[in-house]
Amino acid sequence: MDYIQYIIPVLALSALCAGWVVVQMIARKMKTKNHFDHLGTGGCTNCTCGGVEVCENEK
């Protein structure tokens, strides 16, 4: 039963990560800022459009 002390925190952290992914997917669907749109591209540094419009350096 010693493994229970490790399983509970791992499951809690997994649930937290899954919740963050769901929030990012909802934000992407609503066309707001999220972390999925600019993975590996550097993103927009001076864009204030909130993810709705295309930034100047992405054209």
Cβ atoms 27, 33 nearer than 8 A: yes
What is the Cβ-side half-sphere exposure of residue 31, based on CA atoms within 13 angstroms? 4
Does this model's pTM top 0.85? My answer is: no
Tens digits of residue pLDDT in 7-58: 999 999 999 999 999 998 898 888 887 777 766 555 555 555 655 556 555 5
Q: How many beta carbons lie within 10 A of that of residue 10, not counting itself?
A: 9
